[in-house]
Structure formats: structure tokens, C-alpha cells
Amino acid sequence: MGENTKTLADLGLYGLIDYFIEQYKTLDSSAALVDEDAFALVKTPETISSTSLFLEGINFDLVYTPLQHLGYKAITASVNNILAMNAKPSQLALSLGISNKLTLQMLELLMRGVFEACKDYGITLSSFKPTTSLTGLTIAITLTGMPYATGSVTRSGANDTDVICVTGDLGGALLGLHLLEREKRVLKSNDVSQPDFGNNDYVLRRQLKPEARISIIAKLNELGITPTAMTGISEGLATSLILMCRASKKGCRIYENKVPLNQASLKAAAELNFNPLIAALNGGEDYELLFTLPLKVYEAAADSLPKNITAIGYITEPEKACRMITATDDETDLKAPGWGKEYH
């Protein structure tokens, strides 16, 4: 995408569609975007579909969010939903609500991130529909996927004594958000100051450009391992556990000292005077996966599982509720904080 002097007014609505279709075709010559009223004709026996909506001022702040990262992150969030059902993402329909403060050059940056994500995740952009917006930038995504041969997985299949596993580490995205908001406040009070994020690149990346765990799902299927239940972690570990247990009609126990926290997240938490465990339990946008495996399956495969999978507890009978065993061997109820700016 090179520099140009064109504007959105020069292109018009359908000219803008053609503009990005042509740029996408240079990246994927086999792509055929659907120029019809509907975005795809589904001919497969089983297709997984996910919809996501990102609103300026609610899900992202353009003061500190690079547009290229935003495009990538929006696709990552949808990919995570598809992976959480043991499926491989395939086709993307993208709709944009464009406010009058955005230029064509700004949209090029956004779409560069979208195209990069499509390449990384093996996705075909099948539809692109822009329109005008009076309330800021809006990104609406519909992503479809094909279940792996072992079949789709839902939240509702967990069984007593199943091992609870999570991918990656948790809490980093919320800590990155707090750093960005801190520096935004500093700049607002003193426009001479420059942002000072210290050595916190890891948590900033977790917030601004997270990556979906597509290789982990592929590896589990390569090993012939199918989770009994699975869900994405987008609004904190506690919320995801409660949703899974509710769907499965089960309870759970997780161990505080097993919740995976990255050293860089611990450093940032100390700097922000924020409890890293709270960030992991009640934060958002880590885009990791939570799943359960039968105890015998886990024990047999433990040495073959990807290293960034951590067992954090087990499934119980429903009457035992959802609780965490603390470092002092006490039990505390897991609570979902609900929606809020920090948990989007």
C-alpha cells in the first residue's frame, strides 16, 4: 500500500470497495471476494460462524491504538472464537463504519493489519462492506471456520475430574491497557511530556496486537486429542470458567499458584501497583483458550502437549461451585465482574 493523494471523497463508497479489493488481490491472487448481497454460500456439512463488533471509545481508543495493530487484533479476536470450538478459520466478512475524521491513508493502515492477519491465520477475505458512521469507527466481523476431523467442541462437555487447562499466560493485556491509559492521562495534563512505557513491551503487545493460538489447536488435533469442553478467554479467566461450568452443569477448583503469569506481566503489575492475579482472573483481551481433558488423556499426553499449556485445576460436581484454592489453602468463590471498559 503506497502513499497516494486520493481521498475518501475521491473514491466514493464503491470506489473504496474496489480500491481495497484490488490491494487484497495483490496479496492473495487466488482470492475471490464475494460481490453479492450475501457474503458466502455455505456448502459444507458443518460450519462454525462467529460475529464480533468493535466500537471506538468502547473496545479501542485511537489516541494510543495503532490502526495497523487494531486491524490485526480485531481479526485475532474472531479467530479465537473459532479456535475455541475446535475449528480452523476460513472465510472473513468485514464491515466498517467510517467516521469523517478518518482518511484513506488511515484506512490503509487498518486494512494492512487485516491483510496481515488473514495471511497469518490462513483466512480468505470474502467480503468487504464499508459505510459511513456518525459515532466513530466501527468494525463488524463475521468469520466462518471448518471443524477439525475430530468434530466441534462446545463449553458444555466437561466431566467430573477433567483437568482444566489454559494456553499461554493471563493478565498481560489488562496491564498493557492500564499503562496506555496512564500515559494518556499524563499527556492530557501536560502535552509537552512524552510517553514513558519503560521496559514493558510485552504487556503492550498483549494489549495492542495479541495473537491467537492457532498452532496449539492444530497440535492437539495432530496428537488426536479432543477437549471435552472449550471456550475462549476474552473477558478474564473467572468469567470463562463460570461460563464453561454453567454450560456443563459442573463446578470447578483451580489453584492460585497454577494460574500462568508472565514475568513481564509481574513486573508491569508491580510498577502499576496492581494485583497480577486480579488481572488474570478479571481482565480481558488475553485471547487465550480454556479447555478440559479427561484425567487419563492428560496424564498420557502430558509430555507431548505444547509447553505453553498449563493445567490449573479440575472439574467437580455442580454443588461444589466454582472456586479457587489460594496459596494458603483457603477457598474463595470465583466471580465474574461483568462488562466494563477494562473487561472488554
Over residues 45-66, mean pLDDT? 92
* 108 domain-assigned: yes
Predicted confidence (pLDDT) at residue 298 exceeds the cutoff of 80: yes
* 186 domain-assigned: yes
* 344 domain-assigned: no
* Domain boundary, last residue among 147, 178, 207: 147
User: What pLDDT is stored for residue 28 in this prediction?
Assistant: 65
- The pTM of this model reads 0.89
Residues 160 and 260 both lie in one domain:
yes
* 342 domain-assigned: no
User: What pLDDT is stored for residue 198 in this prediction?
Assistant: 87
pLDDT bin (cut points 50, 70, 90) of residue 337 is confident
Lowest mean pLDDT among 35-44, 203-212, 247-256, 258-267: 35-44
We report the CATH number of the domain holding residue 50 as 3.30.1330.10
Residues 301 and 268 both lie in one domain:
yes
Residues 142 and 207 both lie in one domain:
no
* 100 domain-assigned: yes
pLDDT bin (cut points 50, 70, 90) of residue 344 is very low
User: Residues 302-335: pLDDT tens digits?
Assistant: 999 999 999 999 999 999 999 999 999 999 999 9
Residues 258 and 299 both lie in one domain:
yes
Residues 17 and 135 both lie in one domain:
yes
Residues 252 and 159 both lie in one domain:
yes
Residues 94 and 242 both lie in one domain:
no
Please count the structural domains in the chain. Answer: 2
* Domain boundary, last residue among 95, 127, 147: 147
Residues 220 and 277 both lie in one domain:
yes
* 341 domain-assigned: no
Lowest mean pLDDT among 23-27, 53-57, 294-298: 23-27
User: What pLDDT is stored for residue 79 in this prediction?
Assistant: 98
pLDDT bin (cut points 50, 70, 90) of residue 339 is very low
Residues 23 and 76 both lie in one domain:
yes
* Domain boundary, last residue among 97, 121, 147: 147
In sequence order, what are the residues at sequence separation of 6 or more whose Cβ sits closer than 8 angstroms to the Cβ of residue 76?
117, 121, 209, 210, 211, 212, 287
**Residue 254: CA atoms inside 13 Å, Cβ hemisphere, count?**
27
We report the CATH number of the domain holding residue 185 as 3.90.650.10
Residues 62 and 117 both lie in one domain:
yes
Query: And the C-alpha cell for 101?
Result: 475524521
User: Residues 8-18: pLDDT tens digits?
Assistant: 777 776 677 77
Residues 217 and 175 both lie in one domain:
yes
Residues 23 and 111 both lie in one domain:
yes
Predicted confidence (pLDDT) at residue 19 exceeds the cutoff of 70: yes
* 218 domain-assigned: yes
Predicted confidence (pLDDT) at residue 343 exceeds the cutoff of 50: no
pLDDT bin (cut points 50, 70, 90) of residue 196 is confident
Which structural domain range is residue 170 located in?
Answer: 155-336
Predicted confidence (pLDDT) at residue 33 exceeds the cutoff of 60: no
* 1 domain-assigned: no
User: Residues 230-246: pLDDT tens digits?
Assistant: 999 999 999 999 999 99
